[in-house]
Amino acid sequence: MCGIAGQVKYNGKIDSANIDAMNDAIQHRGPDGHGIYLNADASVGLGHRRLSFLDLSEAGKQPMTNEDGTLWVTYNGEVYNYIELRVELEGHGHVFHSHTDTEVLLHGYEQWGAGMLNRLKGMFAFAIWDEKKKELFAARDRFGIKPLYYYYEGGSFVFGSEIKAIKANKDVTTTLDFTSFADYFVYRYVPSPKSIWQEVKKLPAAHYMLLKANGELSIKQYWDIPFDEKIIPDKEAIEKFDELLFNSIKIHARADVPVGSFLSGGYDSSALVYYMSRFGYTPDTFAIGFENWDVSEHLFAEMVAKQYGTNHHALILESQSLDLLDHLVWVYDEPNGDISIIPTYLVSQEAAKKVKTVMSGEGSDEMLVGYQWQKDYAPEKVGFLEKLKRLVKGENTPYIHGYYAMAMAMGRFDGAELRKLLHPDLHQHINHNVDWYYQSHFRTDIPELKAMQVMDFKHFMGEQILGKVDRAAMANSLEVRVPFLDHEIVEFVFGLSPDVYYRKDETKHLLYQNIKNHLPKEILDRRKQGFVGPDKYYMNMAWYERRLVDSKLVADKIINGEYVQQLLANKDHWRLWKVSVMELWYRKWC
């Protein structure tokens, strides 16, 4: 896992100090080494920070080139099937000089061009410069596990793993995007392809971009979740899921360094430990807990760790850990209002003391109907699907306000609430349909339950959760691997009728049937909790008052001080949480 950066300049030469500055800004993503490439006429510069897992020698250093120096790559991620792809490429006559997955990208691009992306199994964001064609090819993995931001203004194209890398380049100027500012309060994140800055964009998941010699930029989607309604015997579905998950976890364990695992004591992380035991691997495991909470995750994690004999580490949080938010606004560099950003950062910090990479269970809930809002969805009672179909067709029936948006909100900001929050001068930046991003990904051509699951893949997981995990882990120079997000597993499950993989009376049917005889009863009977603390942890009104008493947002006439006081008086802690995150972010970056 690494950090990448680069620049293509059409009006003058690149200052190599800019590439160095971009590298330095994301040093945390790769403390094991760094490198830059500047082409002969200084029109292209690539930067790289290395966190090494494969071929720890100098042969794995980046930016990396092919044999004749015509292709250069800077790459962040893991291609887990690189061994199989290498064998295939060697069959086509390609010669390798390292044992890295990075070199597979170079030869794969030579052999297949953009078609290479459909052969990759893994998580990645990378950029390849073609010196012959004077083209930059960049891509992001199918689910958006790894980030990629870019800036294209004034004849200068700049990209990086994090916004802070782009802002470190002196050729870059940014202005706050108040439409994104408003979107954050609706979604708890800034939705792709936007960022919090007008000039900076995100490359969406499962997309690639091509920057041509004439400066033309094109962006294309190369993959989406395929759907079918196959009905197969229950036993066959359970066994196939078991085979796919076992193979995914085994291939995710490929590394020249030890691989640990987060362990919450829930189905997903506990399953990871069980499956690793099947191929003889016992990882270090890491849990987070909260003091004086009888359902704290660390209590359940200890049961699994004891059963499988892992070297287990648990960190117990106290209320003062809320103060970490002052630092996290630097870590995230655009506001993320997920309530688990603090425990995610701290468990990553704890894990990084022992290992360089861990496995985690993201993707399982979205794929196997693990969230309560998916289970509670009842279109026959509320007419949810039909109302949403009318909304998609442009009819004024915004029922999504009442269901999915409320499920995601944790303190809802609809249009009316935003107008109370924002200074009147900024009301023009509030979208007339504040839920536009949810609407953009709602599918009317698939079963209702799958439509809800796709929303979770595209929004909650793809935009909020994966971004949270990447920044929290990489700020601690830790890589997080997510075996449930193997595209072959996702394609298999979404190729089935929901009647095959979902049971109302059984949590995550296909997974449960494979772990029910291998985990403690307390784990199997445990209610879905999410990676959060007790509500009282987020209800510290004195903490909110201290953070908002001299609000810079109020002083700069961006939000209304009277509204903030009303939130405090009402002890509206979820809305206050989002306001506080934005307040601290604004102080740091604006």
How many Cα atoms within 13 Å fall on the side-chain side of residue 278?
A: 17
Q: Which two tokens stand for residue 77?
A: 């991620």
Q: Which two tokens stand for residue 26?
A: 């994301």
Sign (positive or negative) of CA dihedral 524, 470, 245, 249? negative
- pLDDT by residue for the chain (590 residues), tens only, comes to 589 999 999 999 999 999 999 999 999 999 888 899 999 999 999 999 987 655 555 666 889 999 899 999 999 999 999 999 999 999 999 999 888 999 999 999 999 999 999 999 999 999 999 999 999 999 999 999 999 999 999 999 999 999 999 999 999 999 999 999 999 999 999 999 999 999 999 999 999 999 999 999 999 999 999 999 999 999 999 999 999 999 999 999 988 889 999 999 899 999 999 999 999 999 999 998 877 776 678 888 999 999 999 999 998 877 667 889 999 999 999 999 998 999 999 999 999 999 999 999 999 999 999 998 888 865 544 455 555 555 444 444 445 445 788 889 899 999 999 999 999 999 999 999 898 998 888 887 888 889 889 999 999 999 999 999 999 999 999 999 999 999 999 999 999 999 999 998 999 999 999 999 999 999 998 876 565 566 777 888 999 999 999 999 999 999 999 999 999 999 999 999 999 999 999 999 99
Eight-state DSSP code of residue 174:
-
CB 35 within 8 A of CB 42: no
**Residues labelled catalytic:** 2
Sign (positive or negative) of CA dihedral 118, 121, 126, 128? negative
CB 520 within 8 A of CB 266: no
How many Cα atoms within 13 Å fall on the side-chain side of residue 356?
A: 19
Closest CA to 148 of 81, 223, 200: 200
Amino acid at 370: G
SS (H, E, C) 471-523: HHHHCCCCEEECHHHCHHHHHHHHCECHHHHCECCECCHHHHHHHCCCCCHHH
Task: Provide the residue ranges of all domains of the chain, joining segments of one domain with +.
Answer: 2-221, 234-370+448-524
Three-state secondary structure call for residue 398: coil
CA distance 255 to 258: 7
For residue 123, give the H/E element and its range.
strand 122-130
The domain 234-370+448-524: what is its CATH number? 3.40.50.620
CB 76 within 8 A of CB 102: no
DSSP secondary structure string for all residues of 224-257: ------B---HHHHHHHHHHHHHHHHHHHT--SS
CATH class for the region spanning 2-221: alpha beta
